[in-house]
Chain A
């Protein structure tokens, strides 16, 4: 806080490239979900009907579907999506962790819409997408490395995700997965080191191999959660949500 400033006065608001953000909201990139939702203004406030557009890890909301600039945006990193008990039907919440963190209560206009939103929002984080991409990258390297008509290998965690059918390996293939070499120095924080050895066919246009990372120095602790555990955490979240949907569907 600047010396001499009156008590309670916040430091200058963080700058954000809001103009670019607004452009991202209305550009022609794929929309991950869109529709009307009721948004609760505050703890004791009324609901306002807004047009919501989910794009990536950004949940934009507009006055209505024809508006050209969003009223606001909810950045969806580090949040959970839950069903809630509310006076409003088809309500759910986007909850952020931490003291004085905000919880956004939203309500859809139908059960199906609500389920669609909960599903989309719970998988909207960049972290989640990155996890999936890394997993696929690993799988691709594995099936190419194996050579010939290799069969897909099962996922590395001990418990299966919902919906995951164990892929039947051939008798010749013992399913231990290619595991991360244990000699890798733990220089990353929360991000597994990506293999830079992906063999790519000439002529195809793959994304470039991921960069080698440096340890980030002063900011942030080293989080050495192995990939499989992060994967399991997300799987668990999805399992819980599914359980809730299934049980809520049973009720008349």
Chain B
């Protein structure tokens, strides 16, 4: 699949929600743990060799599952192939917790559901649609029916 790699690389240079050096192990059997600078930008997780400016790779975080593994370790897998896991080793439980929380928020689909939820709640309290001010109240992607998807 073709994709705009240059723009994705540029994205990896943007301010990050979270960035830290973690131990990372790929999903292939026999993968070795490597030190990587891991950086969360919008719904992408970039990983760099610790002394390089260009990322080794990126993970799009849609339809992913973040699972606690051993203490201080979590994994990311994808809904269509849950056994194929990317492992991340943190330096502390607290750091592990923070990353897992941050990754939960790092998907467009999660954001969309949050928006629909807040919109609905505000409407219940105030009787007004808060999206009208943005001019996006009619957009199909923000309708309540999206929650059932």
Contact = CB atoms under 8 A, between A and B. Distances in A.
Interface of A: 11, 13-24, 27-30, 32, 55-58, 69-75, 77-79, 96, 98, 100-102, 120, 123, 125-127, 129-130, 132-133, 135-137, 139-140, 143-144, 150-152, 155, 161-165, 167, 189-191, 204, 206-208, 210-214, 216-223, 238
A27 B79 CA distance: 10
B77 to A, nearest CB: 9
Given A74-B4, A216-B18, A221-B15, A132 B79 contact: no
Which of A123, A130, A135 has the most C-beta atoms of chain B within 10 angstroms of its own C-beta?
Answer: A130
Interface size class of B (residues with CB under 8 A): 35 or more
A12 B139 CA distance: 40
Given A23-B63, A56-B108, 14 more contacts: A17-B59, A19-B78, A29-B63, A30-B146, A32-B140, A55-B108, A57-B42, A78-B10, A123-B136, A129-B112, A133-B111, A191-B15, A216-B19, A219-B19
A215 B9 CA distance: 21
A70 B60 CA distance: 16
B56 A191 contact: no
B19 A101 contact: no
Contacts of B135: 161-164, 238
Contacts of A70: 1
A212 B95 CA distance: 11
Contacts of A137: 114, 118
A189 B16 contact: yes
Interface in B63-101: 63-64, 78-81, 98, 101
B108 A129 contact: yes
A221 B15 CA distance: 6
Interface string B92-124: 000000100110110011111111011101100
A55 B60 CA distance: 13
A136 B118 contact: yes
Given A126-B108, A220-B16, A16 B7 contact: no
B115 to A, nearest CB: 5
B101 A127 contact: no
B19 A102 contact: no
21 contacts: A14-B56, A18-B1, A21-B1, A23-B63, A29-B62, A30-B140, A70-B1, A72-B3, A75-B4, A78-B11, A123-B139, A132-B131, A133-B114, A136-B130, A137-B114, A140-B121, A143-B126, A144-B125, A204-B121, A213-B17, A238-B135
